[in-house]
Amino acid sequence: ARAAREAASGAADLSELRLRLEAFDGCALKATAGHFVLAAGAPGARLMVLDFSPGEEEERSGEAFVGPEARLLDNMLKAIGCGRETAYLAYATPWRPPGGRELNASETATLLPFLQKHIELAAPQVLLILGDAAAKAALGANDLARLRGAWFDYDCGARSARAFLSLSLGNLLKTPALKRRAWRDLRAVEGAWK
């Protein structure tokens, strides 16, 4: 984790961070993933959406936020008057874990400095975290019950963002009954974002 902290802390902007993370060999996920897929949308936007990892379609294409979950996210953002031109969409890990599993403790510790620096450099006012796997990666913690559906401060280096933990896109696709709850979450984010 020390090598990751050193590599991440030296990045002056998002482009440099991307290069440093892509070149970093201290995470075993790099060897098993097909592509490095980090982000899409508008860097520097007031709203940053953090998903866990690239999906199967993103893994095949090497492009960020192009699969069925991304189409759902686009529709959700559109419903609150937002889109890729006014939001920054990023993954907690740029490498899809085998089988889409969550990160283990070692992977989380290794990637956390890069993720914190990513959020610091993106400098959003509002950070929408989608699902428990993304939250565990971003917070390095497993006790998420008190954070779900509520605002909290996310500190990352020299910056802090208002953060909100909502449901994962995968869960929303599998369980349409959760969409009502997701809509309430989006309305809360809309009020803070605008």
pLDDT number for residue 144: 85
Positive or negative: CA dihedral 89, 92, 98, 102: negative
pLDDT number for residue 143: 72
Q: What is the mean pLDDT of residues 129-145?
A: 88
Query: Residue 48 in contact with residue 119, Cβ under 8 Å?
Result: yes
| Residues above pLDDT 70, as percent of the chain | 99
Lowest-pLDDT choice from 7-16, 50-59, 148-157, 177-186:
148-157
pLDDT number for residue 193: 77
pLDDT number for residue 150: 86
**The pLDDT of residue 141 is above 80:** no
Tokens found for residue 134: 């993304």
DSSP characters for 120-166? HHH--SEEEEESHHHHHHHHS-S--TTTBTSEEEEEETTEEEEEEEE
- Nearest CA to 71 out of 148, 175, 183, 173 is that of 173
Q: What is the mean pLDDT of residues 26-54?
A: 96
The domain covering 2-193 belongs, at the CATH homologous superfamily level, to Uracil-DNA glycosylase-like domain (3.40.470.10)
Return the amino acid letter for 65: F
Site of tokens 């803070």: 192
- Nearest CA to 158 out of 122, 107, 186, 120 is that of 120
**The pLDDT of residue 145 is above 90:** no
Give the integer Cα–Cα distance in Å for 145 and 168.
14
pLDDT number for residue 142: 65
CA distances from 21 to 29, 61, 142, 157 (A): 12, 19, 24, 17
Q: Is 51 helix (H, G, I), strand (E, B) or coil?
A: strand
Please report how the helices 132-139 and 105-122 are oriented relative to each other, as an axis angle in degrees rounded to 10. 80
* 114, 108, 22, 87 alpha-carbon torsion, rounded to 10°: -60
pLDDT number for residue 28: 95
Q: How confident is the model at residue 17 (pLDDT cuts 50, 70, 90)?
A: very high
Q: What is the mean pLDDT of residues 31-58?
A: 96
What would the pLDDT profile of 148-177 be if each residue is shown by its tens digit?
A: 888 999 998 788 999 999 999 999 999 999
Query: Residue 35 in contact with residue 136, Cβ under 8 Å?
Result: no
Q: In what order do the strands lie in the sheet with 39-41?
A: 39-41, 87-91, 47-51, 126-130, 159-166, 151-156
